[in-house]
Chains A and B, each alone.
Chain A
């Protein structure tokens, strides 16, 4: 084992107690009262159709001529089934350092894939996926399992951003400007931009700025935000088909930011939006989000749409060759993630973060490059796994498994 690997192993060991600490917090909260913060979704689906194949029985008992049983292993070769792709995912830079025109301590690059996700026998993954931690600009309903980790900072986006970076090691943060919603505080664009400015001063990681989903208001806010964050390559989350595409794209271009093109699980819409953006914005300034649904609540759609987008991009569809971003926090919309259930289903303090983890890892295998996440344990696990998957292959030690069967647990 090389020195670097040794070091990495040590680092992993160091992480372990930390994960333990995060997870063990569950015991403290278990005794507290039920606190249903997230909207009570109702399961109301028809029996879903699990695919069942009809039988394919051999038409007749094929009588194989009696063979001579081999006495030694018949050696055959294995050639890795490598394919080539005409397309490549564009590389997109998020955040900008001093020398790049911004003030971030580090910038990150995502994308650049030449193969489907983690087809490591074909190509290494050019850049590990990046995780950006959620920060909200006002008090929002949070699942209990999440709230206990950020309680001290809720309502104060600057403190929250610092907590995310200093305590949870966030490489990026997402500042959700929830309060600009005309139905909530209707915070004026200028004031919202001030919050962005303060957060940019408080932390030096690249940031994502999230709107409230109102196309007019978001655009008005993005205009101010883009200007105060001049040159920082902020990811504007998000630009949608019902917004003024020209204005949105031009402000990203003028002030040096990146557009997150958001569509809801429809590749034709994703293509259409990208096509419209191309009129004003270079491809290197566009990320796409085709919508994330929670495990159990449409994750299969989200997974398949993303997998198809990635495969189509690699096979040459120029309108789908963008890194993928996922609002993985949506995992918490699943009632199994936050609800108190009968004791056999375990504490929600474990169920919640594993829900977010499984949602993230499934989409990682579909090709997601940017994860917007929430729970520290989920974030840590996804980061660890992505590190393991972006290192080279042939790091396993087969002898490790030689006698797993008789291991004592």
Chain B
């Protein structure tokens, strides 16, 4: 691939950053020295503000340079104020494996200014109350998108007022009519909602509103990236700095355009250093409702998969209509998956796991706490219906072979874990079955723990067969 003209986040080296720091090792940032701080800065694990000496006059230039160097190619934009305010964008890389994606895609659920009061309140409360616990984390929805279907400023104003009375969630005010948006802003003057949207015709009035109310502004140019760039350029000149891009979400024939446009926007921002396209993107899976299907389930279904594809392809904010659990569950879990930090392997809790109803003669097995390793082993044991114990050793989320190689799975660690989980109180025998891929630790484990080691299969699918042949 032709190399980029502007280095992305992953090409940044700690040395480049270190050279601009005061190099006094003053420890004010909480770290031992400036090099350690530089490394953390490059990995985006620490804030630049922690280096307070940079505020001194002599470092002014260096500070500015560092800021330029570390700022994300996709700008971070804040919607809302106070505690439930949400940050969107702030992306440092095009592909998640290059570093990690920050600021998970924000989900907005729509209400309209022609919705009966009861329905509106129900939708707002439902959005606020949505919660699913996944891997110990609470999945939530983030915003309310208020659409004007009446195009009547007074109605819109009243609706915004009602929404604000019912929730603190950040808002998106949706109308292409500036006078409608203005009426809405008057009902929430300090709320810093996202204004949706400026287009070819209304951009000047929308820009004025964004400046007057200090709001971020979405820019709408369906399938026209030239217009999108032109509008961004114009709005920046106008003084509006917090922009969000909408190249259009086409649910049907235009899906190829949608995917292509999203990709071009991010490619341009990361590989071409295109600052006019270096803004968060808003997608609208709600357009899956433009064509009425025979039953609403079809629209919901289409919206669910459309939202998923947008999450996969870089979109930072979504406006959705469906608030059904079966639509939101897969999409919010997908968001969690895509925004999981790939630098930190997901690990399960270490400890002793019980399968079925083991007794004092049941097998005692062992594996690592890498989530996928654990789940594979667990499901193989479960499907075979074996009653047994499984010791899960903390290998910092590494699989068996890599943790043996990387010395994260050692005889010492295993012996220690056997004690910690009080394995000797669970069974009468002293036989430990270890993974086939940890075979070379067997002598040492035996020595340190006093347990006899049986080397199990290399793949957990062989566990039932192994037990059949080797256990008693």
Which residues of A are in contact with B by a Cβ distance under 8 Å? 5, 9, 12, 16-17, 19-20, 23-24, 39-60, 64, 67, 69-78, 80-81, 83-86, 118-121, 182-183, 213, 242, 265, 293, 295-301, 303-304, 307-308, 311, 314-315, 333, 336, 341, 344-347, 350-351, 354-355, 357-358, 361-362, 365, 377, 381, 385, 388-398, 400-409
Q: How far, in angstroms, from A364 to B150 measured CA to CA in the complex?
A: 39
Tell whether, in the assembled complex, residue A49 and residue B312 are in contact, meaning their CB atoms are under 8 Å apart: no
Q: How far, in angstroms, from A46 to B333 measured CA to CA in the complex?
A: 15
Q: Is the interface of A mostly helix, strand, loop or mixed?
A: loop
With A53-B102, A388-B252 given, name 16 new contacts (CB 8 A): A20-B297, A24-B295, A24-B297, A41-B378, A46-B135, A46-B348, A46-B349, A54-B48, A59-B54, A74-B234, A76-B229, A84-B2, A265-B372, A295-B337, A351-B329, A395-B256
Tell whether, in the assembled complex, residue A303 and residue B378 are in contact, meaning their CB atoms are under 8 Å apart: no
Tell whether, in the assembled complex, residue B334 and residue A295 are in contact, meaning their CB atoms are under 8 Å apart: yes
Tell me the smallest distance from the CB of B359 to a CB of chain A, in Å: 21
Q: Which residue of B lies closest to A118 (CB)?
A: B259
Q: Is B448 an interface residue (CB 8 A)?
A: no
Q: How far, in angstroms, from A347 to B54 measured CA to CA in the complex?
A: 57
CB-CB < 8 A to B76: which residues of A?
A: 53, 56
Tell whether, in the assembled complex, residue B305 and residue A361 are in contact, meaning their CB atoms are under 8 Å apart: yes
Tell which of B256, B309, B327, B383 touches A393, judged by Cβ atoms closer than 8 Å: B256
| B 153-195 contacts with A by CB, 8 A | 174-176
Given contacts A183-B465, A354-B330, contact A406 B147 (CB under 8 A): yes
| B 46-79 contacts with A by CB, 8 A | 46-49, 54-55, 60, 63-64, 67, 70-72, 76
Given contacts A76-B230, A299-B334, A345-B325, contact A48 B137 (CB under 8 A): yes
Given contacts A67-B237, A296-B134, contact A39 B100 (CB under 8 A): no
CB-CB < 8 A to A391: which residues of B?
A: 253, 256
Tell whether, in the assembled complex, residue A395 and residue B257 are in contact, meaning their CB atoms are under 8 Å apart: yes
Binds A, one of B196-204, B409-417, B419-427, B438-446: B196-204
Tell whether, in the assembled complex, residue A398 and residue B230 are in contact, meaning their CB atoms are under 8 Å apart: no
Q: Is B80 an interface residue (CB 8 A)?
A: no
Q: How far, in angstroms, from A75 to B47 measured CA to CA in the complex?
A: 37
CB-CB < 8 A to B294: which residues of A?
A: 16-17, 20
Given contacts A51-B101, A74-B230, A83-B1, contact A400 B372 (CB under 8 A): no
Q: How far, in angstroms, from A401 to B251 measured CA to CA in the complex?
A: 10
Tell whether, in the assembled complex, residue A20 and residue B305 are in contact, meaning their CB atoms are under 8 Å apart: no
CB-CB < 8 A to B254: which residues of A?
A: 395-397, 400
Tell whether, in the assembled complex, residue B330 and residue A44 are in contact, meaning their CB atoms are under 8 Å apart: no
Tell whether, in the assembled complex, residue A78 and residue B341 are in contact, meaning their CB atoms are under 8 Å apart: no
Tell whether, in the assembled complex, residue A183 and residue B464 are in contact, meaning their CB atoms are under 8 Å apart: yes
Q: How far, in angstroms, from A303 to B336 measured CA to CA in the complex?
A: 13
Tell whether, in the assembled complex, residue A20 and residue B295 are in contact, meaning their CB atoms are under 8 Å apart: yes
Which residues of B are in contact with A by a Cβ distance under 8 Å? 1-2, 44-49, 54-55, 60, 63-64, 67, 70-72, 76, 90, 92, 95-97, 100-104, 112, 114, 134-137, 147-151, 174-176, 196, 200, 203-204, 207, 222-226, 228-231, 233-234, 237-239, 248-250, 252-260, 263-264, 267-268, 271-272, 274, 276, 284, 286-287, 289-290, 293-295, 297-298, 301, 304-305, 308-309, 312-313, 321, 324-327, 329-331, 333-334, 336-342, 344, 346-349, 353, 371-372, 374-375, 378-379, 382-383, 458-459, 461, 464-465
Tell whether, in the assembled complex, residue A408 and residue B248 are in contact, meaning their CB atoms are under 8 Å apart: no
Q: How far, in angstroms, from A406 to B145 measured CA to CA in the complex?
A: 12
CB-CB < 8 A to A51: which residues of B?
A: 100-102, 339-341
Tell whether, in the assembled complex, residue B290 and residue A404 are in contact, meaning their CB atoms are under 8 Å apart: yes
Given contacts A24-B297, A393-B257, A398-B222, contact A83 B2 (CB under 8 A): yes
What 3 A-B pairs come out closest when comparing CB atoms?
A396-B254, A346-B326, A51-B100
Q: Which residue of B lies closest to A304 (CB)?
A: B97
CB-CB < 8 A to B204: which residues of A?
A: 71
Can you report 28 A-B residue pairs in the complex whose CB atoms are below 8 A from each other?
A42-B378, A51-B101, A51-B340, A54-B47, A55-B48, A56-B67, A56-B76, A58-B67, A83-B2, A83-B267, A85-B1, A119-B260, A295-B330, A296-B333, A300-B338, A314-B1, A345-B326, A346-B324, A346-B325, A346-B329, A354-B326, A357-B305, A381-B305, A389-B256, A393-B260, A394-B257, A396-B223, A398-B248
Tell whether, in the assembled complex, residue A23 and residue B301 are in contact, meaning their CB atoms are under 8 Å apart: yes
Q: How far, in angstroms, from A311 to B94 measured CA to CA in the complex?
A: 12
Tell whether, in the assembled complex, residue B290 and residue A396 are in contact, meaning their CB atoms are under 8 Å apart: no
CB-CB < 8 A to A19: which residues of B?
A: 298, 301
Q: Which residue of B lies closest to A342 (CB)?
A: B325
CB-CB < 8 A to A17: which residues of B?
A: 294
Interface centre among B46, B147, B207, B254 (most CB of A within 10 A): B254
CB-CB < 8 A to B287: which residues of A?
A: 401, 404
Q: Which residue of B lies closest to A308 (CB)?
A: B97
Tell whether, in the assembled complex, residue B229 and residue A299 are in contact, meaning their CB atoms are under 8 Å apart: no
Given contacts A46-B348, A47-B135, A48-B336, contact A396 B71 (CB under 8 A): no
Q: How far, in angstroms, from A401 to B461 measured CA to CA in the complex?
A: 51
Tell which of A44, A78, A307 touches B348, judged by Cβ atoms closer than 8 Å: A44
Tell whether, in the assembled complex, residue B305 and residue A242 are in contact, meaning their CB atoms are under 8 Å apart: no
Tell whether, in the assembled complex, residue B375 and residue A41 are in contact, meaning their CB atoms are under 8 Å apart: yes
Tell whether, in the assembled complex, residue A50 and residue B340 are in contact, meaning their CB atoms are under 8 Å apart: yes
CB-CB < 8 A to B134: which residues of A?
A: 43, 296
Q: How far, in angstroms, from A119 to B264 measured CA to CA in the complex?
A: 8
Tell me the smallest distance from the CB of A186 to a CB of chain B, in Å: 11
Q: How far, in angstroms, from A168 to B451 measured CA to CA in the complex?
A: 55
Q: Which residue of A lies closest to B351 (CB)?
A: A44
Tell whether, in the assembled complex, residue A408 and residue B149 are in contact, meaning their CB atoms are under 8 Å apart: yes
